Amino acid sequence: MPEFHCLQLFFDGSSLGSGKRGGPAASAGAAIVVDSFGQIHRRSIYLARSDSDTAEYWGLMCGLELVREMGVSRLQIFGDSRNVIDSILGKKAIRKPALVQLNDRALAHLQQIPEWTIQWIPRRKNLLADAEAKRERAMPTPTLAPLHEGLNKDGFDIEKGFSNRKRHVDSGT
């Protein structure tokens, strides 16, 4: 697989539950990676019960896993979550243990990249990652409940669902 010299990673999270609006709810994290040829690569993950900060971190993790697979020597990261960006840069303390673990995992991925930057951007400049996270959050989740001839109680085709979705992660152009 060729190594890309410089990639741009845009990440976002989307959650129906957060802080003042309620507890954990359907959420998703997503990343858009633009390679040095201008091609767009996507990866997202559905989170059944999560909050907005966790969804944002998972968006970053999706992107970091994707760029690791692609090979990269320089990475520019953009996101609209000040909490995640300030935590990655060490400017903000993290209180939730689950977020500390995600932050540590992200930093471990970043240590493998020779040169990287991370920068906050306004939501209006992060529209592709935002749309991808919302699309993933809205997509129904396949279930592994008892099946009747390959269909769950809602008529969802398990074989086709998983062959198209692969662990709820979508990658490619």
Residue 110 has pLDDT above 50, yes or no: yes
User: Residue 108: its pLDDT value, please?
Assistant: 95
pLDDT tens digits, one per residue of 131-172: 999 998 887 444 333 333 333 333 333 344 333 333 333 333
Report which of residues 1 and 154 the model is more confident about. 1
**Mean pLDDT across 66-87:** 94
User: Residue 163: its pLDDT value, please?
Assistant: 30
Domain ranges (residues) in the chain: 4-165
Q: pTM of this prediction?
A: 0.77
- Please report, rounded to a whole number, the percentage of residues in the chain having pLDDT higher than 70: 75
H helix runs in 37-173, sequence order: 52-70, 82-88, 97-111, 127-138, 158-165
Q: Is 3.40.50.300 the CATH number for 4-165?
A: no
Do residues 55 and 13 lie in contact, with contact meaning Cβ atoms separated by under 8 Å? yes
Do residues 150 and 142 lie in contact, with contact meaning Cβ atoms separated by under 8 Å? no
pLDDT tens digits, one per residue of 45-56: 988 888 889 999
User: Residue 127: its pLDDT value, please?
Assistant: 94
